[in-house]
Amino acid sequence: MTMLRAAAFATLVVAAAPASAAEINVVAAGAVRGIIGGMIDDYSRQSGSKFHLTVGPTGQLRKTIASGEPVDLVIVSAPLMAELEGSGKIAPGSRVDLGRVGLGVVVREGAPLPDISTPEAVKAALLKARSIAYTDPKLGGTSVEHLMKFADSVGIKDEVTGKGVISTGGNDAAAKVADGKAEIAIVPITDIHAKDAKLVGGLPEPIQLWTVYTAAIPKSSADPAAARAFVAAMTAPAMHDHWVKAGWQPLK
């Protein structure tokens, strides 16, 4: 897949990249870590551009963007993007919706796969697990907010928090499950990268949370043309299959 992606980028970069190499500061949600990280590597090799990538949960990204640190491109959830647009921080017309991502249940490779076919089955799986990894609620991650909302709605929030193994994000929560530090986690499907983390499947539709992720250029960008060229390359039709294979669903 990487070779095919790189080959596609080789053609796209010629058409989209500025004549001179650039330095692009990107702030991105954890759900895009895997695919964006790979695309950045390919784009850097083809264009000579250098990237500085900051990845984190929603609350951390909100603070990073608000701090005034130089940012050329933000890739965040639609709700956070709406906040940024409302505050006047985003260049008009620069927003591009990338696709949507659901939440999935993770266990360690080789462990029994819990039944997650219904909300009641998910509740039972959470109650049965001796430990549950999730993002520190103070960081404001999408997955932990949804997990706590669901747990509260079915009357098991105290049990879930009592079993909590605190992590720095979805990727870290999945890694803790893979390392045996927790039995189960609910994280964005695209944020599972640890070798021994096993995706059981997506949450059942009645409690699934689909999050749209978007890219946009802040008004404060030092090189909007370079950021725009990268967005054009990563969202070109030739890259569609790579997004889908990475667990993304296109927007209808």
Binning pLDDT at 50, 70 and 90, where does residue 5 land?
low
pLDDT at 9: 55
Q: Where are the alpha helices (DSSP H) in the chain?
A: 2-16, 33-47, 58-66, 78-86, 119-128, 142-153, 157-162, 170-178, 224-234, 240-245
Nearest-CA neighbor of 73 among 59, 84, 57?
84
User: Cβ atoms within 10 A of the Cβ of 161, count?
Assistant: 14
Say yes or no to pLDDT of 1 above 50.
no
Q: Is the pLDDT of residue 96 over 70?
A: yes
Q: Is residue 2's pLDDT more than 80?
A: no
State the average pLDDT over residues 189-198.
95
Residue 42, by phi and psi: left (phi above 0), alpha (psi -120 to 50) or beta?
alpha
pLDDT of 16 > 60? The answer is no
For residues 50-68, average pLDDT:
88
Q: Is the pLDDT of residue 209 over 90?
A: yes
* Maximum average pLDDT range among 7-21, 168-182, 232-246: 168-182
The type of residue at 196 is: D
Give the model's confidence band at 251: pLDDT under 50 very low, under 70 low, under 90 confident, else very high: confident
Q: Is 26 helix (H, G, I), strand (E, B) or coil?
A: strand
Query: How many percent of the chain have pLDDT more than 70?
Result: 92
Reading the block at residue 59, the tokens are 């609350």
Domains and CATH numbers, the chain: 2-100+212-245 (3.40.190.10), 103-207 (3.40.190.10)
Q: What angle do CA 159, 190, 248 make, to 5 degrees?
A: 125
Asked if 92 contacts 239 with a C-beta cutoff of 8 angstroms, the reply is no
- Closest to 50 in 3D by CA, of 76, 96, 17: 17
User: Phi-psi region for residue 184, left (φ > 0), alpha (ψ -120 to 50) or beta?
Assistant: beta
- The average pLDDT across 63-72 equals 86
Q: What is the pLDDT of residues 166-191, one digit of tens each?
A: 999 999 999 999 999 999 999 999 99
- pLDDT tens-digit series, residues 31-52: 999 899 889 999 999 889 999 9
pLDDT at 217 over 50: yes
User: Average per-residue pLDDT in the chain?
Assistant: 91
Judged against a pLDDT cut of 50, whether residue 137 lies above it is answered with yes
List the strands of the sheet with 103-108, edge to edge: 164-167, 132-135, 184-188, 103-108, 197-202
Is the pLDDT reported for residue 89 higher than 70?
yes
pLDDT for 69: 82
Look at residue 122 and give its three-state secondary structure. Answer: helix
21 — pLDDT class (breaks 50, 70, 90): confident
